[in-house]
Structure 1
Amino acid sequence: MSLKYVDEKWQFSAIPNIEESNFNKTLERFYDMGITGLTRENIQNSLDGKLLYSSDPVIVKIKTGSINENHIPGINEVKERISNLKGQNDYARETISHMKSKLNQDEVRYISFEDKNTRGLAGARNGQSGNPQDTWGIYAYNKGVHFKEQDNEVEESRGGSHGVGKIASNAASDLFTMYFANCDENGEQHLGGTVQLIEHMYKGQAYRSTGYFTDVEVMDNNKTKFYPFENHFHEIFQKKTRGLKIIIPYLREDYDDERSIIKSVCDSFFISITLGKLEVHVNGNRIAKDTIKDYVFDEYYYSQDISEIKKEFTPLYLNTYLKEPPKEIIVSNGEEEFKFNLYFKYDENISKGRVAIIRTIGMKIEDFKVKSNATKPFNAVLIGGNREDAYLKSLENESHTKLSKDHFSDRRLKKLATRFINKLSEEIAKVIQEAIDENNPIDGKMDTEEILYLDGEAFKKDLEGSMGTVKVSDGTSLVKSSGKHHKKEKRDKRNHKQEVINSKNKRTQKREPLKWQKTKDESIQEGKGRYSAHPDMVERVILKDKELIMFDFSSSDKINGAKTCDIALSIVDGMGQEYQNEFKINSSYQEVVDLNAGQRCKYTKNIIKDVEIKEGIAQLQFSLRNNFNRSLKFVYYVEV
């Protein structure tokens, strides 16, 4: 049998007709993940390929830079294919137009990931062999195939499982093009690559969407077999030490950000780095066991204000992992139980509660939201053993960013996954509640006479009197256009009740609900007086995350037509002892809104400023912080 080689460096498989006119959907999913998805996938691949039984950390060097377009291997063939692409829908046409706009550049931006203390790919000389131990053939030519380790324990700890992560590198390129250079245990060096286009016509022939940077043998029966090129290309595409190097030319502009690259390394691999399993260099910035704090706890990279951390939780995670002792929790899926170490931190300054779900490889899967506890003041890190790791691996979505049941087709496995995820929330919620109870004790019995806990319907009825007309799309009025009638009716009832009491007790003197309060408080402005408000004039409603207070000054002579007032809050403990200057509004409330004025109130310490009074009524709405103690009792002071 005679063999012949073709001259082209990029190989596309010929097909009879074009049947698929869309770009691979996985490209879009990884593109949406940005530099985080790219960094996660390539570093995870390096950790998966670590030298077995070596105690040295895997080292990954990430570089960005520019290269002359002429030094990119075989790029003119790719450009010619792209020039001939035709889109059959709006998305494809827009994508092709963008690709074509990037074709004529003298200097091209690139990013590379080069690892060390790894095995690299094996069996490159065998090419497209079909042997499961020839990892070059699996990585270079097979889509959706995941190489499996013979050692089960090693396999369970590896990050990859779906076999689609390789396409993350294509998604980072404006031309969907990537290369990989390999040096194996024998020192042999080869270069491969892939490009992801759409099915297309080229020189009168239809071709599949994926192209491979590879040499090819064509036999007499027209069957072909791919073999890699020996690596004699430009130095940026060379790998001279054992391991793998990914090179992505035409790097997308929004990926080309050193600060974001460093943050994505810390976000996904802070545990692996802290444990000394991984060391990453980003353009000379060394992120290792002894330096990671310099990045995570640096204001340039992450906000260090705990109360402002709402999306990037890495500083909280690292601090929790380093300082908190682990708690063991057991999570069942209905058939098996799994044991995890939970590193848990309760801090009332934390505004968003999240749990970092960590694989034993040291990679974070997701910022897990505990059901009904996403706004509780805590932070946690969850790590299991090898058995737990294997189960978490089975629950990961294809981009390794979330525990999910959706990728299971087996109904039993889907049901078990649902139970596990729900039970995980339940068990962590128990720890959260214990911490809240421990940090918010109730001091004895309290007289909560004026605290009203109402359900939604009762609350809505109470508010109808103070709200204007609400119009929906069809013009229907949901609430009376004016609350005056309701307020008047309510005051009439209250006045009638007072008259009955006066009649019964043969007393005609009307009680003044505001009582003069002597005070030396320097915060009171000159010319103002302070009065304590009688509980009868205060209505307080506490809901899930809101508190509303209405002050009815309509029967008080002290207000004397004032349009605004200041209101001070003073705590009373379970023994009736008052602490006038110890309460701080911002410790319990996120904001205070004047419902009459329709705007936020200014406040200092425990005093709310310039509250508007309408028809003798002042109304405030408070947004509660997660650590708010619902058992607090207040005395209210009015300053006019």
Structure 2
Amino acid sequence: MKTVYIDCFGILYGKVGFSLMGIFDSHKKKDAWRFPSGKGLTLNGINAAGIDTFSDVPVDSITREGIQNSLDARDSAANGPVVVSFSASTIASAAIPGITQLKSKTLPAIRDKWASSETAMAFFDTYESVIEAETVPVLKISDFNTKGLAEKNWQSLIFVAGDSVKDDEASAGSKGIGKFAPFAASNLRMVFYHTISENEGERSIGVSQLVSYDTKTAGEVTQGPAYFSAGLSGSQYQPMQDTVPFKIDRKVSQFGTDLFVVGFKNDTDWQDLIKMSVLSNFLISIWTGELEVQIEDEIINRDRLPILFAYFKKIEKENKGKRNAFKVTEDFKDAFRAFQVLTNSDLKQLALPGEMVETYDFIDSAQDAHLLLALLEDTNRKILQTRKSGMKINYKNHISGSINFFGVFQATGQKLNKFLKDIENASHDDWYVDRIVDRKKKATARQFLKDLTRFYKTAVNDTFAIKNTVEMDAFQLDGVLIANGEQQAATEDRSANLEQKVANLKIKKYTQIARTN
């Protein structure tokens, strides 16, 4: 559905299809980079906290945060899993929207403002080398079977920092930090968004997270972020009039969002890095059929998991001991252990204990979560903790020091997910009770996490301890019998040798001769 306008004569016209916009060209606003500015604003430098959070591992970050956003935007009316695709291409640098403005006005102004900052100047040097090149790399991330960005989601993603509006209160994310991950993966800190939703139709906008600089108006500075937009309407920057200059592989009736990272930091191993990140962070989402990922022409779904894990295990073996070679991460190794649990023929599945259901009002039944356990040969005795979306939160350890198990915990209940999301940190990799302000709720959360850990330990011990004890006792008994046998044999040997020595003993009498000086 397209946004439809009515002119003063009552004639319908739209951006797509039949149009009378040419009549009003003189009133049409031109797309350009718009830098919000004012007096007394706090200067934004190059080390923006939101972006720096994801700068160490930008490809992993953009994969995790991008897929999380797509899972949160799932269209319940669509059949099949949420599909997220990653593909890279290049465009002519001259085709970057507003490139002339950036070269002639923006870059000189920010260089002048931050001339004394070595870090900033290094970034601007890279920025300039990218836009002066003949072509620029672009990473496209598209999702399907999603709802696209409705107005409230559009506002939250594009214009709001430190918060995120989600339709599902048990969604994977809501802290508003992950939206900065794509900018960390861009040498230009430039991202274009294109979306199609049911009520708002099709729209696009560009966002550039740069730095503050002085404007021509005395005392005014820019805020930092810029928007490639048709201009302000009231206090809001409007979508672009023209379409984005990138390839879009969706029909107008196909809801979803496309994100274009312009100036993509395309490491030579970027495809493998994304694959490994998907397996490490979304194994459960893939396994349960909630998610399918496409990286160029390769599909990641449940059926292909064995092939992909074997591929990376082969890489790990081939690159062992090599310097500067592609290495698999510890998270990937743990994900492989979790996969072994899921495919284990002796898998044990446990529901929440009745005591927890009775104690906490955010747990409706024992089926609001499940714990999967299995014994493994190569294990580090951890439990993968996830919520409803299947995205990895973290691995819980210190469960058992002797039982060679590995486990997967997934909270699926709606209210339980809401509770866990509320105590989740901004990086979505741990649950912290200190996020709660209310003292009573904080005490409840602290006790819940203790009870959850107690549940893990009890489940592992009750499920495996007896079997392990029998095996251990048998092993230890064998060791004792062998040790006793060896000790007895050694004693007998020593006795025989002693008897032989005694039998051969001869007593000789020595006369001491006085020594003379």
The reply to whether TM is greater than 0.5 is yes
Change (3 A) 1:177 1:26: same
Match of 1:70 in 2: 94
Per the alignment, residue 74 of structure 2 pairs with 50
Task: Describe how 1:20-419 pairs up with structure 2 within 5 A.
Answer: 20-22=43-45, 23-79=47-103, 80-85=105-110, 86-87=113-114, 91-123=119-151, 134-149=152-167, 155-185=168-198, 188-204=201-217, 205-217=220-232, 223-236=234-247, 240=251, 241-254=254-267, 257-299=270-312, 303=316, 310-312=330-332, 313-323=334-344, 324-330=347-353, 336=361, 338=363, 339=366, 340-350=369-379, 352-366=380-394, 368-371=395-398, 373=400, 377-386=404-413, 387-419=415-447
Quick one: structure 1 residues 83 and 345, their matched pair in 2 at CA, closer, same or farther if it must change by over 3 Å? Answer: farther
CA-based RMSD of the aligned residues comes to 3.5
In structure 2, the CA distance between the partners of 1:4 and 1:287, relative to structure 1 (3 Å rule), is: same
Give the structure, 1 or 2, with the largest relative contact order (CA under 8 Å, sep 6 or more): 2
Question: Aligned in 2, Cα 1:78/1:17: closer, same or farther, shift over 3 Å?
Answer: farther
Aligned equivalents of 2:224 and 2:179: distance in 1?
16
Tell me, in whole angstroms, the C-alpha distance in 2 between the residues paired with 1:300 and 1:335. Answer: 42
Residues 571 and 92 (structure 1 numbering): CA distance in 2 closer, same or farther, change over 3 Å? same
Q: Is the 8 A contact 1:67 1:107 kept in 2?
A: yes
Measured at CA, do residues 95 and 410 of structure 1 come closer, stay the same or move farther in structure 2, by a change above 3 Å?
Answer: farther
Aligned to 1:550: none
Report the 3-state secondary structure (helix = DSSP H, G, I; strand = E; otherwise coil) of the residue aligned with 1:344.
strand
Q: Report the residue type matching 2:225 in the other structure.
A: T
Which position in structure 1 is the counterpart of 2:492? none
Cα separation, 2, equivalents of 1:309 and 1:177 = 29
Residues 332/24 of structure 1: CA separation in 2 closer, same or farther (3 Å cut): farther
CA 1:349/1:137 → structure 2, altered by over 3 Å: closer, same or farther? closer
Between the two proteins, what is the percent identity of the paired residues? 23
1-structure distance, mates of 2:424, 2:402: 24
Cα separation, 2, equivalents of 1:292 and 1:106: 39
Alpha carbons 2:350, 2:372 under 8 Å: kept: yes
Q: CA distance change for structure 1 residues 171 and 237 in 2, over 3 Å: closer, same or farther?
A: farther
Residues 301 and 101 of structure 1: is their aligned pair in 2 closer, same or farther, counting only changes over 3 Å?
A: farther
Provide structure 2 residue ranges, at least 5 long, that are not aligned to the other structure: 1-25, 319-327, 489-517
Structure of larger gyration radius? 1
Question: How far does residue 93 in structure 1 lie from its aligned partner after superposition?
Answer: 4.8
Residues 1:443 and 2:439 aligned together = no
* Runs of 5+ unmatched residues, structure 1: 124-133, 150-154, 448-569, 581-640
Q: Is the 8 A contact 1:303 1:309 kept in 2?
A: no
TM superposition shift of 1:408? 3.4
- TM superposition shift of 1:215: 1.6
Task: Tell me the alpha carbon deviations over residues 492-536 of structure 1, each in whole angstroms, 9 at most, x when there is no partner.
Answer: xxxxxxxxxxxxxxxxxxxxxxxxxxxxxxxxxxxxxxxxxxxxx
CA separation of 1:21 and 1:189: change in aligned 2, threshold 3 A: closer
Structure 2 counterpart SS, 1:298:
helix
Specify the code of the residue in structure 1 equivalent to 2:340: N
Q: What per-residue deviation string (whole Å, max 9, x for no partner) do you get for residues 117-173 of structure 1? A: 1111234xxxxxxxxxx4333333222332243xxxxx1342121122211111111
Specify the SS of the correspondent of 1:281.
strand
The structure in which a higher percent of residues are helix is 2
Match among 480, 490, 496 for residue 572 of structure 1: 480
AA aligned opposite 1:119: K
Would you say 1:422 and 2:447 are equivalent positions? no
Per the alignment, residue 515 of structure 2 pairs with none
- Kept after mapping to 2: 8 A contact 1:297/1:315: no
Q: Give, in whole Å, the separation in 1 of the partners of 2:35 and 2:356.
A: 48
For residue 169 of structure 2, give the secondary structure of its aligned residue in structure 1.
helix
In 1, Cα distance between equivalents of 2:240 and 2:28: 12
> Which residue does the alignment assign to 1:495?
none
* Deviation readout 1:344-364 (Å, 9 max, x if unpaired): 1222432x2222112212222
Q: Is the 8 A contact 1:41 1:165 kept in 2?
A: yes
TM-score normalised by L of structure 1 = 0.60
SS at match of 1:250: strand
Please give the alpha-carbon distance, in whole angstroms, between the structure 2 residues aligned to 1:33 and 1:409: 32
Aligned residues: 433
Amino acid across the alignment from 1:317? A
When you count strand as a share of all residues, which structure comes out higher?
Answer: 1
Q: For residues 235 and 160 of structure 1, what CA distance do their matches in structure 2 show?
A: 28
Name the SS of the counterpart of 1:161 in structure 2: coil
Residues 101 and 406 from structure 1, CA distance in 2 versus in 1: closer, same or farther, beyond 3 angstroms?
farther
Instruction: Assess if the C-alpha contact under 8 Å between 2:382 and 2:398 holds in 1.
Output: no
Compared CA separation, residues 11 and 255, structure 1 to 2 (3 A):
farther
For 1:353 and 1:406, how far apart are their aligned partners in 2? 27
Q: For residues 445 and 242 of structure 1, do their structure 2 counterparts lie closer, same or farther at Cα, with a shift above 3 Å needed?
A: closer
SS of aligned partner of 1:47: helix
